[in-house]
Amino acid sequence: SQQGEEDPQALSIQEGENATMNCSYKTSINNLQWYRQNSGRGLVHLILIRSNEREKHSGRLRVTLDTSKKSSSLLITASRAADTASYFCATDASPSSYKLIFGSGTRLLVRP
């Protein structure tokens, strides 16, 4: 399959701490995206990083991409209780195929 695994599967931190989630994949990609899913809800796009980029920031989010290791990480700084959700990475193999393949996700719990 195109997608690998994310780790950790679950992460519990205290409000104010940083949360780091990792994603690995198997094939060449055009870009990699991160999505958030609140329990029982739809997925919401957070950030996209292209294959020629190494790092990208958006507010409290920092994403890195290492294409040589086929891995990415999502860092959420100064976490809040409202950040509690599942986080998924998704790879885009376009233009060979216009779809996203999602990883298994990390369940983040931020304790107040």
Partner 1 sequence: EPEVTQTPSHQVTQMGQEVILRCVPISNHLYFYWYRQILGQKVEFLVSFYNNEISEKSEIFDDQFSVERPDGSNFTLKIRSTKLEDSAMYFCASSDPDREIGTGELFFGEGSRLTVL
Rounded to a whole number of angstroms, the minimum distance from the CB of residue 16 to partner 1 is 28
The yes or no reply on residue 97 touching partner 1 (CB under 8 A) is: yes
Beta strands 10-14 and 106-111, pairing class: parallel
Rounded to a whole number of angstroms, the minimum distance from the CB of residue 49 to partner 1 is 12
C-alpha dihedral, 36 to 105 to 38 to 93, nearest 10°: 40
DSSP designation for 30: S
Of 75, 82, 85, nearest to 37 (Cα)?
85
DSSP designation for 18: -
Contact string (CB under 8 A) for partner 1, positions 23-62, x = contact: -------xx-x-x-x--xxxxxx--x--------------
Give the footprint of partner 1 on this chain (CB under 8 A). 30-31, 33, 35, 37, 40-45, 48, 88, 90, 92, 94-95, 97-105
